[in-house]
A and B are shown apart, each in its own frame.
Chain A
Amino acid sequence: MTWTDEELVARSRTGDMDSFNQLILRWERPIYALAYRVIGQEEDARDVAQETFLRAFRALPGFKGQAKFSSWIYRIALNLCRDWIRRKRRTPVSQMPEDLDLSELAAERGASESVEDLVARRELTAVVEEAMALLPEEQRTAVILKEYHGMTFQEIADLQGCPLSTVKTRLYQGLSVLRKHLRDRRLMPTAEQVVRVREH
């Protein structure tokens, strides 16, 4: 039987650690992915994810179900990410090394993926991480929540504590900066190139 989040939360509130661990199993990957994309450090993202669930368990008595469990836990994770950024006092940087690590490269390779494709994908990932690091924290968070976690504008506005129009502006500005960086790195055609292709 698959328990809903609300049912697992109710069981966890009685001190049932197994139920809470089921919640962790369900949400650890999205929370880790969020933390990794926001702060850009693999090990620190893992620590943030662990701390998120620890704080969530301790705060369960105060969680009355007024919001979705996922929204609540995302808020905890984002607050921790924000604390991490302020503590480190630097924007997150990509951890892609200058030289490709072939062992990691080989580990990621799919069954039908050539080495050249894998190298291209790794380079693309590096450029995207580099571009994301250029964004201010609010824009980066808005892009990540919308692009990778499928949240609505309203959900993002609630999480970030800002109006709906602000979320849309952040998204637009974030995507524009990313687009420019990707074009500069030749991962996307320039506007002139697009026009020329269309004219032909």
Chain B
Amino acid sequence: MYKDDHNPLNRSPYCGDPGALVSYLYNDGSADELAAIAAHVHECVACARELAALGDTRDVLSAWSPPQTELGLTLSSSDVGPVPAALTAPVAPAVVSGAGAAASVPWWRQSTPVWMQAVAATVVFGAGLAVGTSDRGAATPAAPPVAASTPAIVPVSRGELSALEKSLRDEIARLRAAQPAEPTQTAARTDDEALMRRIRTLVSESEERQQRELALRTAQVMRDLEIQRKVDMATVQQNIGQIQGTTGAELKQQRELYNLLMNNASLRRGVP
């Protein structure tokens, strides 16, 4: 806790209260409370000092930032795995899923599956074939026109029906096998996008490396220059010191010599 130099006679409930100090520091509180704290801080030196110190701490903290790395966080369908059932978009109920699913949508609005379309096409073809056969059969001009217009029912054997069923099933299987092409195309597009992103990332990383290299060289040169400058300055100072030392010694010698000469001259003249 901070120094206990708050005035004990100060009856403000906010004096020395950590909660009040941080509320005021961050300006987070009710308007009345902040105003009361502000009034107290204005009068209390200790609280004002404490707030200033906390503010200085915040100033230093503001300089801390995380590395500015490229994040590029994205989610793809392969990341999330099976998409939660609640998130899947409702699809049109297929007829094959049973009557229950189709009950909610009128039958005439339901999408027709492929196999049904194939059956319908075969029936129409068969009907047309029967009509054509009956027309060829009724080739004599004496036949009444009414009889020619009514198609004769051609008996179809069980084997022909089985062969028809088999060909329809083969057709359905072939169509179903062809369907997965769409997701493959989608996956291919996704791969292309991922590849482009990767290429862009590699290019930017290469540029950053080159910039870093250049800045590194510059920083090294500057550092070398600074070191050399300091060495040179130290050498100069040392030389100056030596010169000063030498000069001083010589001056001292000359002064001593001069004093000696003066003394000798005085002695010869008989002056004490």
Q: Is B122 an interface residue (CB 8 A)?
A: no
Q: By the criterion CB–CB under 8 Å, are A61 and B87 in contact? A: yes
**Partner pick for A17 among B49, B68, B71, B77, CB 8 A cutoff:** B77
B61 to chain A: which residues have CB within 8 Å?
128, 143, 147, 178
What 1/0 mask marks residues of chain B from 211 to 242 whose CB sits below 8 Å from any chain A CB?
11111101110110000000000000000000
Whether, in the assembled complex, B84 has its beta carbon less than 8 Å from a beta carbon of chain A, the answer is: yes
| Residues 72-108 (chain B) with a chain A CB within 8 angstroms | 73-77, 79-80, 83-84, 86-89
- Chain B residues with CB under 8 Å of A182's CB are 57, 60
Question: How far is A167 from B23 in the complex, measured between Cα atoms in Å?
Answer: 11
Residues of B within 8 A of A176 (CB): 1-2
A102 and B23 alpha carbons, distance in the complex (Å): 41
- Given A57-B80, A61-B84, answer yes or no on A49-B71 (Cβ-Cβ < 8 Å): yes
Q: What are 27 A-to-B residue pairs whose CB atoms are below 8 Å?
A: A13-B86, A13-B87, A20-B75, A21-B75, A37-B64, A42-B67, A46-B69, A46-B73, A50-B73, A57-B80, A60-B86, A60-B87, A61-B87, A105-B215, A124-B60, A125-B63, A132-B64, A143-B61, A147-B62, A153-B23, A153-B28, A171-B22, A172-B22, A173-B18, A175-B22, A179-B56, A189-B56
For residue B3, CB closer than 8 A to chain A, the reply is yes
Enumerate chain B residues within 8 angstroms of A32, measured Cβ to Cβ: 66, 71, 73
Give a binary string over A12-35; 1 marks a CB under 8 Å from any B CB, 0 the rest: 111101001100100011001100
8 Å CB contact of B19 from A107, A143, A169? A169
* In the complex, chain B residues whose CB is within 8 Å of the CB of A178: 57, 60-61
Pick the contact of B83: A15, A21, A45, A132 (CB < 8 A). Answer: A15
**Number of residues of chain B lying within 8 A (CB) of chain A:** 54
A175 CA to B18 CA, complexed, in Å? 11
Complex-state Cα separation, A104 to B222, whole angstroms: 17
In this complex, how many residues of chain A approach chain B with their Cβ under 8 Å: the count is 61
- Kindly identify which residue among A24, A33, A102 contacts B75, using a CB–CB cutoff of 8 Å: A24
Q: Give the residues in chain B near A171, CB-CB below 8 Å.
A: 22, 26
User: Is B53 on the interface with A (CB-CB < 8 A)?
Assistant: yes
Given contacts A54-B79, A54-B80, A191-B3, contact A107 B219 (CB under 8 A): no
Contact between chains at A15 and B88 (CB < 8 Å): yes
Judge if B208 is at the interface, Cβ distance under 8 Å.
yes
Cα(A158)–Cα(B255), bound, Å: 88
B52 to chain A, nearest CB (A): 8
Nearest residue (CB) in B for A121 is: B63
Besides the contacts A37-B64, A176-B1, what 12 more A-B pairs have beta carbons closer than 8 Å? Answer: A15-B88, A36-B67, A102-B220, A106-B215, A109-B215, A125-B63, A128-B60, A143-B61, A153-B26, A168-B23, A172-B22, A182-B60
Is there an interface contact between A175 and B58, defined as CB atoms closer than 8 Å?
Answer: yes
Q: Return the CB mask of A50-76 against B: 1 if under 8 Å, else 0.
A: 100110011011000000000000000
Could you tell me the distance in whole angstroms from the C-beta of B44 to the nearest C-beta in chain A? 15
Complex CA–CA separation, A46 to B71 (angstroms) = 7
Q: Are A53 and B73 in contact (CB under 8 A)?
A: yes
Report whether A28 and B71 are in contact in the complex, using a CB–CB cutoff of 8 Å: yes
